[in-house]
C-alpha cells in the first residue's frame, strides 16, 4: 500500500462526504413544509374532475412537491397590478386586415346655442352644446367648471358617486383653456369641458383607490394615458368617481352609489359613479371601464349612453387590471355623438400598452340604414319577458328609418363556462391580496364577492384556462364569419349570453336608452359592431337615438 497517497484519498473522501451532506441539506431545505401526499392528490382530483390510479399518484408526488417550491420562489418576487402577463390576447380573427385609411372626425353641427334662462340647465347640455358656448365665450370654462364642482359638492353626499374632487387641478385646467381660447388656440370640442373618471385610473397628485379599503391611500406618480389624452384635448378633470370595489357592482368603501332616478336604489356597476354623475348632471361626461357589463349595466339603469370599444382600442396604462384579456376603457355620456367625441380623443396606441392596435376611427353621422345589413338576435328577443313592448318599439323605429332587420344567431359555445378566463386572471391580478389575508378588509364578503372568487380561482387548473382560451379562439373565428354577413346587430342588453360572449371576443358595443322599464328606471338597447368598427356602429346608434329622444330625459336634479 502506498502510504503517500493516503492523505489525498482521505481528502477526497472528506470532500465527497461534504458534498453529499450539502446535497442532502439542500434536498431537505427544498422540501415543502407540508409535503403533498397520495391522499391529498386523490382529494384534489375531485376538484378538477379527474381520476388517477394509485401508481400514477405515486409518480406525481415528487413533481407536485417540486411545483410547490416553484410557487414559493415565484411568489417571492413582488408583482404590482400594473405588470401584465407576457402572453397577450389577440382578438383579430385569422385573415382579418385592419383598415388604414384615415379621415377627419365629422360631427353634427351644434347650431345656435344660447345660455338658458336658468343657468343650472347647462349641466345637462351635450358636449357639442357646451363646446359651442365655451368656444364662443358665452360662458368661460372656469364658470362651467365651478358650476359642475358646485353640483358635485351638493349632490355627491346623496349619490355617493364621488371619491375625490380634483378642484385645484380643475380650476387650473379651466383657466388654461380660457387663456388658450382667448388667444385663438383651439384644441377641439373637449376644450374647457369638465369630466370625471372612474377611480381606477391613475391621476398624479390625487388618490386612486380602486374603491377598496386596502387601496384607499394609494397614489401614483403619473397620469393614466386616458387622463393625459383628455388633458391634451383641453378637457377639465373635476372628480375621481366611485366604482364598485375592485370593479364589481356599485358598493365601495363609501357606501352604495345611488341611482339619480331613484336614490333608494343603486346605480349598478362597476362604473357606478361614472354613470350616476353623468346622469345627474354633475359632469359633462365620464370615463368608465368594462370587463363584463361594467359600462352597459350602469348606463342602462342610469339612462346614459355608453361606448364599450373594441378590445385593443384604448390604452390601459395607468388603469387597474382585473382581466388583462378582457378589460376595456370607454366613455359614458349623454349622447352617442358625445361618445364619438370622447373616443376620438382617447383611442390609439401610446407605446406603453402592447395590446393596443393602430386602426383609424373615421366617424361621420351620415349613414343610411337602408344601405346596411342590420341583424337582430331573434332567440334573445323572443326570450325577453319584461319590457317586450320597448323592444318592439326599437324594431319599429329602425324599420321607419329604412332598416331591413335580419334575424341572426350567435355561435354556440359554452360561453358561461368560459368565464373562468376572467376569474383566473382576476385571481392573478390580486394574488398578493388573497395570500396576505387583506382580502378580509373588502366591504363585501359573501360567496359571490371578490374575496371568495379570488380564492376559488386558485383552483382553476392552468390547463383548463388554456383550453378555455382555445375555445375562445374558435369563437372569435365563428364570430367573424357571422359579422361577414351583417354590418351591425341589435341585442337586448342582458338577455342570453351576448354580453359575455362579445366581451370575450372583444367586439364593440353602444348602449342607448330606449324608454322606461316596468320598475320605473330607464331601459336600454345595445347596438353591436364589427371589430374596430366603432365609427359605423356609433352612426347607426345615433340615427336611432335622434329618432327617439330618450337620451334627452334626465332625472329631476335641480
Residues marked active site are found at 198, 270, 294
**Coil, strand or helix at 408:** strand
Ordered DSSP codes for 204-237:
TTSB--TT-GGGTT-B-SS--HHHHHHHHTT-EE
CA–CA gap between residue 524 and residue 528 (Å, rounded):
13
Say if residues 68 and 452 touch (Cβ distance below 8 Å).
Answer: no
Return all residues near 307 (Cβ < 8 A) that are at least 6 apart: 295, 330, 331, 333, 339, 340, 342, 343, 508, 509, 510, 534, 538
Separation of alpha carbons 554 and 280, rounded Å: 7
Could you give the angle at which helices 388-400 and 534-548 cross, rounded to 10 degrees? 100
Q: Do the Cβ atoms of 84 and 324 come closer than 8 Å?
A: yes
Angle between helices 336-346 and 127-135 (to 10 degrees): 70
Instruction: Using alpha carbons, select from 236, 129, 106 the residue that is nearest to residue 180.
Output: 236
Contacts for 380 with CB less than 8 Å, ≥ 6 apart: 491, 492, 495, 496, 498
Look up residue 162 and give its three cell numbers. Answer: 364621488
Q: Which three cell numbers stand for residue 320?
A: 387597474
Relative to beta strand 305-308, strand 328-333 is antiparallel
Using the Cα atoms of residue 531, residue 537, residue 538 and residue 539 in order, give the sign of their dihedral: positive
Q: Is residue 270 reached through a cis peptide bond, with omega within 30 degrees of 0 on the bond before it?
A: yes
Amino acid at each position: 500500500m502506498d502510504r503517500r497517497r493516503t492523505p489525498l484519498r482521505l481528502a477526497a473522501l472528506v470532500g465527497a462526504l461534504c458534498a453529499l451532506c450539502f446535497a442532502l441539506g439542500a434536498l431537505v431545505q427544498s422540501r415543502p413544509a407540508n409535503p403533498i401526499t397520495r391522499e391529498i392528490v386523490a382529494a384534489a382530483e375531485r376538484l378538477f374532475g379527474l381520476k388517477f390510479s394509485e401508481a400514477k399518484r405515486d409518480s406525481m408526488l415528487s413533481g407536485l412537491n417540486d411545483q410547490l417550491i416553484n410557487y414559493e420562489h415565484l411568489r417571492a418576487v413582488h408583482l404590482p397590478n400594473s405588470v401584465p402577463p407576457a402572453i397577450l390576447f389577440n382578438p383579430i380573427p385569422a385573415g382579418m386586415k385592419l383598415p388604414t385609411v384615415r379621415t377627419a372626425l365629422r360631427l353634427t353641427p351644434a347650431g345656435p346655442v344660447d345660455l338658458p334662462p336658468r343657468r343650472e340647465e347647462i349641466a345637462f347640455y351635450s358636449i357639442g352644446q357646451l363646446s359651442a358656448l365655451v368656444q364662443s365665450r358665452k360662458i368661460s370654462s372656469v364658470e362651467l367648471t365651478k358650476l359642475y364642482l358646485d353640483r358635485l359638492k351638493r349632490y355627491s353626499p346623496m349619490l355617493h358617486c364621488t371619491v375625490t374632487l380634483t378642484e385645484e387641478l380643475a380650476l387650473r385646467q379651466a383657466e388654461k383653456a380660457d387663456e388658450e381660447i382667448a388667444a385663438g388656440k383651439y384644441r377641439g370640442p373637449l376644450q374647457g369641458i369638465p369630466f370625471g373618471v372612474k377611480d381606477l385610473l391613475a391621476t398624479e397628485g390625487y388618490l386612486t383607490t380602486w374603491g377598496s379599503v386596502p387601496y384607499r391611500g394609494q397614489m401614483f406618480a403619473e397620469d393614466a394615458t386616458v387622463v393625459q389624452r383628455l388633458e391634451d384635448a383641453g378637457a377639465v378633470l373635476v372628480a375621481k368617481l366611485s366604482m364598485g370595489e375592485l370593479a364589481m357592482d356599485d358598493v365601495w368603501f363609501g357606501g352604495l352609489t345611488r341611482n339619480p332616478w331613484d336614490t333608494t336604489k343603486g346605480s349598478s356597476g362597476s362604473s357606478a359613479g361614472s354613470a350616476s354623475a353623468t346622469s345627474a348632471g354633475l359632469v359633462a361626461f365620464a370615463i368608465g371601464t368594462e370587463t363584463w357589463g361594467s359600462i352597459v349595466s350602469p348606463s342602462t339603469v342610469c339612462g346614459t349612453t355608453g361606448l364599450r370599444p373594441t378590445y385593443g382600442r384604448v390604452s390601459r396604462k395607468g388603469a387597474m387590471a382585473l382581466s388583462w384579456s378582457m378589460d376595456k376603457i370607454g366613455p359614458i355620456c349623454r349622447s352617442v355623438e358625445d361618445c364619438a367625441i370622447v373616443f376620438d380623443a382617447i383611442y390609439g396606441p401610446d407605446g406603453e400598452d402592447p395590446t393596443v392596435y393602430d386602426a383609424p376611427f373615421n366617424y361621420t353621422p351620415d349613414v343610411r340604414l337602408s344601405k346596411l345589413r342590420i341583424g337582430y338576435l331573434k332567440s334573445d328577443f323572443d326570450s325577453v319577458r319584461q319590457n317586450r313592448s320597448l323592444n318592439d318599439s326599437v324594431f319599429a323605429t329602425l324599420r321607419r328609418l329604412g332598416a331591413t332587420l335580419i334575424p341572426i344567431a350567435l355561435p354556440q359555445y359554452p360561453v358561461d363556462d368560459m368565464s373562468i378566463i376572467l376569474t383566473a386572471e382576476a385571481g392573478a391580478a390580486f394574488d398578493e391580496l388573497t395570500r396576505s389575508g387583506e382580502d378580509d378588509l373588502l366591504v363585501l364578503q359573501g360567496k359571490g364577492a371578490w374575496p371568495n372568487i379570488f380564492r376559488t380561482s386558485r383552483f382553476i387548473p392552468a390547463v383548463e384556462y388554456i383550453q378555455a382560451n382555445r375555445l375562445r379562439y374558435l369563437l372569435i373565428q365563428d364570430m367573424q364569419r357571422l359579422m361577414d354577413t351583417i354590418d351591425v346587430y341589435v341585442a337586448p342588453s342582458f338577455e342570453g349570453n351576448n354580453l359575455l360572449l362579445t366581451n370575450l371576443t372583444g367586439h364593440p358595443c353602444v348602449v342607448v336608452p330606449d324608454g322606461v322599464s316596468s320598475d320605473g328606471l330607464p331601459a336600454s338597447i345595445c347596438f353591436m359592431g364589427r371589430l374596430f368598427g366603432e365609427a359605423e356602429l356609433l352612426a347607426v346608434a345615433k340615427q336611432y337615438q335622434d329618432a327617439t329622444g330618450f337620451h334627452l330625459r334626465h332625472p329631476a336634479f335641480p
